[in-house]
Amino acid sequence: MGLHSLALRAAATAALLTFSTLAHADSLTVKTAQGKVHGKTINDGKVKAWLGLPYAAPPTGELRWKAPQPAAKWSGERDAAKYGAHCAQNHVFDDMVFQDNGPSENCLFLNVYAPAAATAKAKLPVMFWIHGGGYSGGSGDEPRHNGDFLPLKGVVLVTINYRLGVFGFLATSDLASEAGGSAGNYGLMDAVAALQWVHANIRAFGGDPANVTIFGESAGSFAVSTLIAAPSARGLFAKAIGESGASFNRNSTAYVSPADRFASGDKFVAGLGVHSLAELRALPAQTLLDATKKPGVNFPQNVDGKFLTEPVPETYAAGKQAHIPLLAGWNSDEGGSIAALSTTTEQFRSRAAAMYKAPEKAEEFLKLYPAETDAQAQRSAIDLNGDQFIAFGTWRWIEAHRKTGDAPIYRYHFELAALPSKYHFGTFAFHSDDIEYVFGTLDTRPGETIRPEDRTLSEQMMSYWTNFAKTGDPNGPGLPTWPKYNDASYPLIHLNSPITAGPDELRPRYEFLEANPLAR
């Protein structure tokens, strides 16, 4: 080959590389309704990420404790390579780690992750993650929620921030008067605003706005169960996944009347020494956060009169919730850390007698939560605490949707016990244990030995979750069969090593709790 030919080939190769580089760079620039954003690649170029995208206006000043307003438009190109601030909060849980520059009330940001090859024509299913943290802590940018791996299963992932605690859920009579009779649930309204943003913009990132799956853990799962019932969220998602939590606990303040909830908020505000909404909105964020540290102060979702006009279970009982496929479940040791202290047979039997004054009911209870030995009593204490905390409410949600939802349901029980680590002691499938398996982020766990069986289960769960997002059915090639949760034997899948499936053997326990509420 002559020098001229070699020169031509070199020039052609250089031109091709330049075109490829420009095309790749161009694929990181996306036009949204607010303006252009330029993202970056992660996971060795396998995933594209756009971070810190504002989906609503900063809820500060006059917008503090108001429904989210549209985000402002911008000219030019917005850098989307860094996370936006996480929402203002007190320290809640030690295992919550943030990757942004710090907390702020200006925090209504979301993050989008897509496979590197995805184009605006891809129409990939969208998975919309709502983080947990008791509605008082957490962020969409925690390392365990990273989008490095889940999009490799052929989905677009969205993680969001939403207002928390006093900023997201304060409800007072003055706020209600200002807003025409309703107050509270601003954090849930934020989630709806983020879903609306996804509906309007996600196609440009390669996602399908007609195929959105909302999913969340703990408070995020509470939010999922609530959004299915909320009229303002209708039509913004097609499927739902709930991990350990639902707005169905009998002791939930969501059952409190709006008037009582507003009175509770009024009492909190009275302790701040302000006399108007203007003064309240002028208080520094830290002043409000400090005031929430007092014992007994909390700000849950509520029946506000507009976003929710009735308790969530009533909406399901009437069949007025969205009739969409549901995948839901909980972990085997939700109450593990709470009950880790020694519990004897005598102590647990005394507890049963205190909860059920009628001796025959206490004995029936002890058949379902046996305490013949101290070891058995310890296990029953873990089970009872987990049921009271999370499991029973989640079961009630699944049952309610089974009865009136007119859609497939898939139930799981996560059982692979984690080894002790920096943030938990004992060998438990503890509350929130499932998150890193779903996201493929096990290596973000500090000080924990990750075993081959952990990685295998994570890969299987990622496939189940993304299969469900694609089709409404978690089953797929190479996976153990996951049966539908039907009326015959209420089968569920046991997420363990290995995975098995079978009838619900604990159903009598939950039927007893349903028929015999625990004494308060």
Indicate which residues carry an active-site annotation. Answer: 218, 334, 431
Tokens standing for residue 144: 């365990």
What are phi and psi for residue 49, nearest 5 degrees?
-135, 135
Residues 6+ away with beta carbon under 8 Å from 26: none
Tokens 């996306």 label which residue?
30
Can you tell me the distance from the alpha carbon of 269 to that of 172, in angstroms, rounded to the nearest whole number? 8
Three-state secondary structure call for residue 128: strand
C-alpha dihedral sign at 300, 301, 303, 305: positive
Can you tell me the distance from the alpha carbon of 222 to that of 134, in angstroms, rounded to the nearest whole number? 9
Mode of pairing for the β-strands spanning 207-217 and 124-130: parallel
Q: How far is CA 173 from the centre of its chain?
A: 29
Residues 6+ away with beta carbon under 8 Å from 60: 105, 106
C-beta of residue 442 within 8 angstroms of C-beta of residue 458: yes
Q: What angle do CA 365, 519, 305 make, to 5 degrees?
A: 125
Tokens standing for residue 364: 């029936």
C-beta of residue 194 within 8 angstroms of C-beta of residue 109: no
- Helices 359-368 and 507-515 cross at an angle (nearest 10°) of 150
Can you tell me the distance from the alpha carbon of 218 to that of 10, in angstroms, rounded to the nearest whole number? 57
Tokens 């309007």 label which residue?
200
